[in-house]
Amino acid sequence: MKRKVGNQKRTNQHWTNKELQRLLALSEGGVKYTEIAKTLGRSEKAVQLKLNKLIRDISKPKKTIVTVSQDAVDKWDKLMTCLDKDEQKSADKSKNLLDRAINRMRMHKWLYRLAWFAAITAAVLVALLLERLMQ
């Protein structure tokens, strides 16, 4: 698609890497949206939207992989079997509950990480408490 020149507006034109670099440099320099728009040959709204999108993309947290030790998983399973007499039913039930909870929490990554840490910590503490009580 050819670039439009003159008084015609640029509509639905992709931003080039050079334009994006220039946009970021000008905005960091404190230049107003209207001046950036004139410099880049874009509308003020396009500059504003693109800059907001770039800032939002830059500030997005990266995906985090949560690892759980086998010991914590074993303690979780032990806790679930203590709470329910039927071991298989208990394991399936705890797995389904945990899977459903994790699927719901994946919408909010930071909340997911915090809840996962709290759940594992609570499960380990309860397992240790039950272990002491059973001795």
For residue 8, being part of any structural domain is answered with no
Residue 47 and residue 75 in one domain: no
- How far CA 38 is from CA of 8, 49, 58, 79, in Å, comes to 13, 15, 25, 65
Residue 38 and residue 87 in one domain: no
pTM across the whole model? 0.40
CB pairs under 8 A, 24+ apart, for 93-99?
none
89-115 pLDDT, tens digit each: 656 766 777 777 666 656 566 666 777
**Which pair of structure tokens corresponds to residue 110?**
């930071």
For residue 25, being part of any structural domain is answered with yes
Residue 1 clears pLDDT 50, i.e. is over it: no
Last residue of a domain, one of 5, 32, 59: 59
For residue 104, being part of any structural domain is answered with yes
pLDDT band at 85 (very low <50, low <70, confident <90, very high): low
Residue 130 and residue 76 in one domain: yes
What is d(CA 127, CA 116) in angstroms, rounded to the nearest whole number?
A: 16
pLDDT band at 12 (very low <50, low <70, confident <90, very high): confident
Residue 117 and residue 86 in one domain: yes
Residue 83 and residue 127 in one domain: yes
For residue 12, being part of any structural domain is answered with no
For residue 6, being part of any structural domain is answered with no
Q: Which structural domain, as residue segments, surrounds residue 88?
A: 70-134
For residue 42, being part of any structural domain is answered with yes
For residue 41, being part of any structural domain is answered with yes
Residue 98 and residue 53 in one domain: no
What's the structural domain count of the chain? 2
For residue 2, being part of any structural domain is answered with no
Residue 87 and residue 116 in one domain: yes
Residue listed under structure tokens 């020149």: 5
